[in-house]
Amino acid sequence: MRFSALLLCCAATGLIATPAFANHHQEMKEAKALIYPETKTVDVVEEQFGEKIADPYRWLENDVREDEEVADWVNAQNAVTNAYLEKLDGREVLAASMTKLYDYDDLHVPVEAGGKYFYERKSGGQNQAILFVRDGKHGKERVLIDPAGWSDDGATALAEWKPSPDGKLLVYAVQDGGSDWRTLKVIEVVTGKVMNDNVKWAKFTGLDWLPGNFGFVYSRFPEPKAGEKFQSLNENHTIYIHPIGHKQAADKRIYNTTDRPDLNHTAELTSDKQWMVITSSSGTDERYDITMIKVDADEKQVTKLIEGFENDWRLIDGIGDTLYFVTNKDAKRLRVVKTDLSKPVNRRASCDGPSAAYSTCSKTEYIFTEVVPEHNATIASAALVGGKLVVNYMDDAKSRLEVFELDGKPAGLVDLPGLGQVSGLSGTAKSDTAYFAFDSFNRPNTIFSFDGAGTPAIWAKPDLPFDPDQVEVAQHFYQSKDGTKIPMFVVRKKGLDVSGGSPTLLYGYGGFNISILPHYKPAWMAWIEAGGIFASANLRGGGEYGKEWHDGGRLQNKQNVFDDFIAAGEYLIAQGLTPNDGLAIEGRSNGG
């Protein structure tokens, strides 16, 4: 959350814990209406599905770094905002608090390859994360990629990356100015030398290596016409193999769907490099087709494993011809299944063509066996760790890690340090050690390693300018308008006197099957340290309770999202946590 948003919240609620904020209510009432710069309109009308749609602000989609007129508009808008914020009392108090709280190391989960450990870390004051590498788990770290010098404005970032299995090479994506477009490059890990490989127009891509470092697989769109890279419709997403040491023109097309140019395709390989798994999607819903290619086959035969775009399918990993997936097929809160690709079955099926009425046809199918059945909690992710299966559950909007044998027999829980979120769960069938990050509203990412149930080991943790144990994270449940029980986290300093209520910042999202679990933001902590209460409501439309929860807050059910959010504010006031005139709200994107 930006400083300006937090400052406006503090002004709106008159945060009582700091004397400098005492007169903000009156100041807001007396403040003159802001006068915004005029915004020009253009005559752009397009026909969509038979309807003519005007888009008078299309010109603002141009790159602010390349279009001087857009840059002038942004500067004029910022000048209005900054002039207002500079007059608010308490600005210096919050600025000092946030400067302190942003000064920490934001840690990411390591990836092991060839005995080397690769991981990102972003320290306070840095615009972009740096990629580090260690030789061995306890080796001395060194910088492998630092994007700080890639652009003058600091807006060019390191995006996706993947080390080769032997740790000798690493393919990485360069993201310019927040765009979805990627340029792919390769670096030698030992020398730090960037190779001549340069792959353009990658977008919505995975990255994975072929055996022997022959090359990597990626997804791209055709090169757009000049001047249309941010406006043109992207079609004909295609998976390619890029052979190391060659120009992009030598890349080999592996998979696309010319009959369905609207589909997106991403490819990944099982950790033993036996199978390439292609996931195809249309739109934003989690409904996928799955296509298989045997990696070491002389002829790269394409085999359809799942078709119909009916369910969510996520590859966990493979052991030989046995592949493990998380799916919501016949399980709204998801389950784990497996299939043996060496044992397909032929079933009778209807025929196509003029002889269909009197012909008999067959279809090859694969049998899926349930490993971990659907649970009351929702599966967020899963990993194979050596001979174990580890499932990351969302249990009432907070994480729970459970270990299973490969036959689905429960083998215990991984201990977590409190109410929070597990992210970045990583492991492979080839390694007995896995890693995850844990954070909550009162603590940023700590990285843990584990090899089974029980207490995990701390692999890395940040030094913090505050004591997380002095911040209380509690979970509440309240009823929405239609009686549905909604979870909400309430965060405050331990010992805070709320007898008269305390100014409260309420956050919500509620959309796109995105789950809002406890997570750390320095700006929220600045609010809490100043004596405010922070609340995060798990609105319908998210993925906290699986497909039903998602469907309950979209399309014809979208009103439920607003009802859930309103009920959250009413609950906070009714419980005496928030005064009648002390509630501020925050949302962005879908939540805005």
Contact 93, 18 (CB under 8 A): yes
Question: What would the pLDDT profile of 538-591 be if each residue is shown by its tens digit?
Answer: 999 999 999 999 999 999 999 999 999 999 999 999 999 999 999 999 999 998
Is the pLDDT confidence value at 18 over 60? no
Give the closest residue to 268 by CA, choosing from 280, 259, 276.
276
Contact 219, 207 (CB under 8 A): no
> What whole-number distance in Å separates Cα of residue 256 and Cα of residue 274?
21
Write the DSSP symbol of residue 326.
E
Residue 12, pLDDT above cutoff 50: no
Residue 287 CB partners (closer than 8 Å, separation 6+): 281, 309, 310, 311, 312
What is the mean pLDDT of the segment spanning 357-368? Answer: 80
Question: What's the CA gap between 299 and 293, in Å, rounded?
Answer: 9
The pLDDT score that the predictor gives to residue 29 is 47
pLDDT for position 59: 95
Q: Would the CA dihedral through 465, 467, 471, 474 be positive or negative?
A: positive
Q: What is the pLDDT of residue 355?
A: 64
Amino acid, single-letter form, for residue 98: M
**Is pLDDT above 80 for 377?**
yes
Tokens representing 563 are: 């009802």
For residue 20, what pLDDT is reported?
Answer: 38
Least confident interval from 17-26, 279-288, 297-306, 426-435: 17-26
Question: Is the four-CA dihedral 374, 377, 379, 385 of positive or negative sign?
Answer: negative
Domains, the chain: 94-103+465-592 (3.40.50.1820), 105-225+234-269 (2.130.10.120)
Q: How many CB atoms lie within 10 A of CB 193?
A: 10
Q: Provide the 10 A C-beta neighbour count for residue 363.
A: 12
Q: Which tens digits make up the pLDDT trace of 24-66?
A: 444 544 456 789 999 999 999 999 999 999 999 999 999 888 8
Residue 362 has pLDDT above 80, yes or no: no
Check pLDDT > 80 for residue 146. yes
Kindly state the percentage of the chain with pLDDT values over 70. Answer: 93
Structure token pair of residue 182 = 């990627």
pLDDT band at 440 (very low <50, low <70, confident <90, very high): very high
Q: Can you give the pTM of this predicted structure?
A: 0.88
CA distance linking residue 92 with residue 527, whole number of Å: 14
C-alpha distances in Å from residue 557, one per residue of 72, 548, 563 = 41, 11, 10
Residue-averaged pLDDT of the chain: 92
Write the pLDDT tens digit of every residue in 242-258. Answer: 999 999 999 999 999 99
| pLDDT for 431 | 92
Residue 357 pLDDT: 64
Token output for 501: 């209520």
* Confidence label for 356 from pLDDT (cuts 50, 70 and 90): low
Bridge partner residues of 264 (DSSP): 281
What average pLDDT does this structure show over 210-231?
91
